[in-house]
Structure 1
Amino acid sequence: MAWGVFAFSRDGRARLAGVLRALLIAQLVVSLCMVIFCYNTSLRVMLLLKHIHKVTVLLLYGLILFQAYGMKLHYTGGLRLIAVLLKCPHWKRATLVSSVWMLSGSLVAANGMLVYAACRGTLKALMKELSSSLRIGISQYLTEPTWKALLDTMQVELSCCGADKPTDWHDIPWINMDFLNEGSELVMKLAGADGKVLPPVSPYSCCTPRVLAPCYHDPLQQSEWREVWSESSPLLSASLHTRGCVEAVRAPLTRALLALQCFNMLVFLFQILIVVLTQLLRTSARAAVLRGDCSGVGPAVLLGSLPVQMTGPRGSSSREELREGCSSTSAVGGTYTANWTHRRTRRRHTYLRTRTSYPYLSYHRPSTALRSPQIPVGNDLHPASSSDL
């Protein structure tokens, strides 16, 4: 029982191989675009996160590069296999090699979905860890110079403020009493019973340059504008970044994750077409071999098999004889010149060129003392006779 039966001549198989090459090139281009887009989209964020979660950053990039490298191996192997199916359809292992290649390509395409799922789970875990890490960094802003430099850089480059929201600077105690004037009435009013101070103060890195007005971020030092805080002016929130740094990190990584999903789905669709066309090319070339004419018309089938009568040019019915008959001619109709004599001559010429160009790579020759002496006779050299010795 056969399903999806087609017939391809020699030219038809050549055109089919051209479409296969185009699909493989498209698959390779898609994988390269996936790596370049994901890298460029998340590069700035990953450079900031590598100081906090270095292992997670390397894992995300490693998964994407692993998928792209698998696509590259599938592409290079596919081009070689297509050339073999066209020139040597009588090859005994063509069916096995093509089946293994189609299976490995399908696994690589399916692995793209697994890579997407792994990146998605890793991104969720990263966001949870990042929120708690940034809260710790806010509490150590004035005591740890590393956290201060990292938070200031992140808030300026990503246009964010706080961990989850800008008011995190007002809810997390990060200013100790040692940095404040205990004799100030305002400070004592803001101090709690436990000695912690939670003033509505944000670092200067939270200020946004998009508002052409003073940045109201510190009511303790900006005493000339304290009426702005007392009146709850809208300039307070307008002069600061409105989103948290966790959301600023999540946005480009989510875009990269969405692009990864779309690219992998496109690669999977290409792989389905590649499997179908490879099956047609392989079965058509094999049927032409069994009919005894490698350059003739051969039926192709997607699923199942067709009863093909094995008839050679001399009435032979053995499969081995048909393969030997096809091996003398190529699938493009020309004479297969790579016979044993030609290969021997070509090896001899290669040896002579190697000996002339690279004498240190030449084969070992017996010493001149063990060879029969030569004496000149005219312009030629002849072996010496026993009487001469």
Structure 2
Amino acid sequence: MITIEEHLAGILQATHRLPSVPCGLADAQGLVLAANVTSRWPVPLFDNSAMDGYAVRSEDATAGAILTVVADVAAGSDEDPAIGPGEAVRIMTGAAIPSDADAVVPLEQTDLGTAIRAEAPERITVLVAPAPGAHIRRRGQDASAGAVSVASGARLGPWQLSAIASAGIEQVTVHRAPRVAIISTGSELIAPSGTPRRGQIPESNSVLLSAAVREAGAIITSAATVADDPPALRRALDATDADVVILSGGASVGAFDVVKAVLGEERGVRFSQVAMQPGKPQGFGVLDEGMLAFCLPGNPVSVAASFEVFVRPALRQMAGFAVIDRPRVIRTAGAAWTSPKGRVQILPAVFDDEIVRPATSGGSGSHLVTSLAAATAFAVIPAETVRVEEGEPVTVMVLA
């Protein structure tokens, strides 16, 4: 057997970051920025009001002062009304501050309060004197023109996209998301809605892998189920157009392990026994067309563990993510359980701020698919450990 680290190192060595491409903001969510975005303008663009209220000269706006309201400035207005001694201008949040004003008195700090008024009042009484500069957002306070708004390597979520738009940019350069095809193999597999005969089971691996691939930031190009039939698998592979193909099932040493027969003997994929449980039989290679091929075991927990340990890091590396691994934390075992000697145990688990425990009482069997529904993490137990005792520290791979 080889170690998890050895198998993963071979995968990552063959995995390259995908080319960068231009992308509009509407299509960029979840992608990784490939070049710095610099602001075209200062942010904010101009001095503006942080509150609905009254723009004033702070020297006039003492507590109890009665000010005459001489103008009304809405957000988007280009007006710059003059403000003389004893005067004020009603102003809305985001509106440009009149040049003569140096503070804003919020509505609630006047005698008229926050009652909605279609027209500006004739006068106000100031209840709380504002300090100079109060409630004014200054030009360039957030970022100056030419400053980096969002740095290369950032994952583009709602906040990053908003910052880019605020910088006056509508198109960015991003790393292309990996395109992934999924093939589940097995003559025993039927559609989840079907009625299984003796020896048949609902096919769930393509559902699991499709969701996991999307969550990792990649795109599904196709998902198919193929019987244990070499010609059928060859046809499915020949029809696959993707950066990555993930196959589940048929990767072990059984007489009908079609994936190993077709990909190992004909297409140069290397199959290995990896010192982990579940997920011992693994295959990986680069096909002639440059497509990465991951050959995973068939049992759902094995598929989930294999994806998290091997496939997800590769997809994230291809997509340009700086961090490709799940976060890991240390928690105290909330129960005792056994672990296979000589193999790293990847156990579906639940955890909180203090403890971790198995997701089910059934152990770490690769067939225990129900445990995946309850799991929020994998407990990662070293190969030399044969029993985890309650109260011992445990490494936890956080999934959610």
**TM-score interval, normalised by the smaller of the two chains:** under 0.3
Q: Relative contact order: is structure 1 or structure 2 higher (C-alpha 8 Å, sep ≥ 6)? A: 1
TM-score by length of 1: 0.20
More helix by share: 1
More strand by share: 2
Larger Rg over CA atoms? 1
TM-score by length of 2: 0.20
